[in-house]
Amino acid sequence: MALSSSAVIHNHMNMNMKWFDMVRAHQELTLGNPRSKIPKRATQLAESISNAIHHHLQMDPHPPSRSLDLPRYYEEKLSTPTMSPREDISQKWRQIHGCSNWENILDPLDPSLRREIIKYGEFTQATYDAFDYDSFSEYCGSCRYNCNKLFDKLGLSKNGYAVTKYLYAMSHIELPRWLERSHVADTWSRDSNWIGYVAVSNDQETRRIGRRDIVVAWRGTVAPSEWYEDFQRKLVPIGKKDAQVEHGFLSIYTSKCDKTRYNKSSASDQVMKEITKLVKLYEEKGEEISVTITGHSLGGALALLNAYEAAHIVPNNVPISVISFGAPRVGNVTFKQELEEMGVKTLRVVVKQDWVPRMPGLVFNEGFKLFDEITGLEWGYRHVGSELKLDVGSSPYLKGGGMNLPGFHNLETYLHLVDGYLSSGTPFRSEAKRDVALVNKSCDMLVDELRIPQCWYQLANKGLVCNDHGRWVKPKRDPDDIPSHDDDALVPDEMQRYMMTSVSS
């Protein structure tokens, strides 16, 4: 009887649970469905669910108090560097990479760890900044730059990494906009999207960080609300044991089709082939190696799936870490346990006001023990790893009130809060160096006093150029920047030459 009652509640909770309709779902659950015959014990369960949702969704309607003259303070910041000195961390890299699950270095936050989190966050942000969103472009859904140009174009060469491989993904499930194709008939691909890349540290960066670091960066969806309804209900098996993961995430990671140009092999096959190649290359040179997988939103989910697969294939002496931002839950308790048993270290960076990390399993998750007690089941979703929790209200630069869900989930908001975080009990860091204006690249989160336009990051004139006849037209892409599934990676000789190149700090 308890199981059927829980099923009734679960079905009831799935009514209208899109992000912009959470409040209505909360009200429906609280009031109950008069046609549903739910026994008293299940009614208590519903009340507990209602209280949990109310607790998690309540937000401070008032922005933080600001005693300083914010516009003047911001003006003074404009003449200061945007990054700290790149100190040598070669003697403590394992701790920063999570060998002890980041114990005693998250609260307060170790300065070296802060800079490394931001570095990986910027690698993830690159997957958004270089993505072609223009549905009128024949290259919609691709990266706007060749992989050899990506970091130069986005100002990330300072980090001392080279991109070695672009990754493409498709999905067999319905995604309203994530795979929306170009309006142009002759497009580069109708089935695939650029979803991320693999990069590796050069010699100078390797010396600074104490090992050769292989990085995988995964892109999230443009608008997470588009996949929320699809990605919340169904767990499917992964691996040989009882681990299960959300079917939509797994579909994107593993889907392939012989008829496509870019996904004859899946994102899974592409990334593991590249990781395996790089690990073998540097193992043969006798180097210490790490694999760091990062992603935001959906990209954080793909990062966990990637880490799970890598842990089965990569040699045990190569540590694997995941640093995710605003990532949803991915799998059940067995999936979590297997990752931990295989030594995968996961650091989840979460903003208190962001709803995405509460999904899937808004109700049935690791925090809701009553459900397991009633049903005897443990199929609900579980988060993995350690958590660095941030609060929009801690920053005097951010709008703290309202329900600005896109702004709360925005990756640049996350990086701004990491940069200003000292500890859970201290104010926003006055020495924070990242450019505050970056927060408003694709949202409206900065207080009006700063006079930073919202959603300011875009191509000049939205990509149109004036030709020799005075007509505004779409420019032709540089031939090097046209997507190609054959030549999007550095060949070994080119990669070795790059690795030998010094990058100024």
Quote the domain boundaries for residue 261. Answer: 2-499
What percent of the chain lies above the pLDDT cut of 70? 72
Range scoring the smallest mean pLDDT among 228-242, 286-300, 345-359: 228-242
* pLDDT given for residue 222 in this prediction: 53
Would you mind telling me the total number of residues written for the chain in this entry? 505
* pLDDT given for residue 334 in this prediction: 93
Q: Residue 41: enclosing H or E segment and its boundaries?
A: helix 40-57
Average pLDDT of the residues in 240-264:
88
Tokens of 261: 């140009």
**Beta carbons within 10 angstroms of residue 1's beta carbon:** 9
* DSSP at 463: G
Question: Cβ(439)–Cβ(410) under 8 Å?
Answer: yes
Tokens of 70: 């914010």
Binned at pLDDT 50, 70 and 90, residue 502 comes out as very low
Q: Residue 346: enclosing H or E segment and its boundaries?
A: strand 345-351
- CA-based angle 99:214:485, to the nearest 5? 150
Average pLDDT of the residues in 166-173:
80
CATH number at residue 118: 3.40.50.1820
Q: Would residue 488 show up in a list of annotated catalytic residues for this protein?
A: no
Binned at pLDDT 50, 70 and 90, residue 495 comes out as low
The answer to whether residue 368 scores a pLDDT higher than 70 is no
Residue 505 lies in a domain: no
For residue 483, whether the previous peptide bond is cis, meaning omega lies within 30 degrees of 0, is no
The answer to whether residue 274 scores a pLDDT higher than 60 is yes
Looking at per-residue confidence, does 478 or 504 come out higher? 478
Closest C-alpha among 21, 220, 217 to residue 119:
217
- As beta bridge partners, residue 351 has 390
Tokens of 158: 């300072």
Q: Would residue 296 show up in a list of annotated catalytic residues for this protein?
A: no
What percent of the chain lies above the pLDDT cut of 90? 54
Q: What is the pLDDT of residues 172-227, one digit of tens each?
A: 655 444 444 455 555 666 678 899 999 999 999 999 999 999 999 999 875 444 45
Average pLDDT of the residues in 342-371:
79
* pLDDT given for residue 402 in this prediction: 77
List the alpha helices (DSSP H) in 89-188. Answer: 93-96, 111-129, 150-154
Q: Would residue 424 show up in a list of annotated catalytic residues for this protein?
A: no
Tokens 């040598």 -> residue: 88
* pLDDT given for residue 2 in this prediction: 38
Q: Of these residues, 225, 409, 416, 442, which one is catalytic?
A: 409
| C-alpha dihedral sign at 266, 271, 272, 273 | positive
Question: Cβ(356)–Cβ(298) under 8 Å?
Answer: no
3-class DSSP state of 449: helix
Average pLDDT of the residues in 241-260:
89
Average pLDDT of the residues in 293-310:
97
Tokens of 42: 């299940």
Q: What is the pLDDT of residues 422-435, one digit of tens each?
A: 999 999 998 899 99
Instruction: Give me the number of domains the chain comprises.
Output: 1
Looking at per-residue confidence, does 31 or 313 come out higher? 313
**Beta carbons within 10 angstroms of residue 381's beta carbon:** 26
The answer to whether residue 232 scores a pLDDT higher than 80 is no
* pLDDT given for residue 165 in this prediction: 96
Q: How many helices and strands (H and E) does the chain possess?
A: 17, 11
Residue 504 lies in a domain: no
Q: Residue 293: enclosing H or E segment and its boundaries?
A: strand 289-296
* pLDDT given for residue 486 in this prediction: 57
Which of 188-202, 350-364, 393-407, 416-430 ranks highest by mean pLDDT? 416-430
Q: What is the pLDDT of residues 53-94, one digit of tens each?
A: 444 444 443 344 455 678 777 777 777 777 777 899 999 999
Q: Residue 338: enclosing H or E segment and its boundaries?
A: helix 333-341
Which of 63-77, 157-171, 261-275, 278-292 ranks highest by mean pLDDT? 278-292
Binned at pLDDT 50, 70 and 90, residue 139 comes out as confident
Q: Of these residues, 110, 132, 354, 419, which one is catalytic?
A: 354
* pLDDT given for residue 68 in this prediction: 65
Question: Cβ(423)–Cβ(107) under 8 Å?
Answer: yes
Q: Of these residues, 5, 201, 266, 297, which one is catalytic?
A: 297
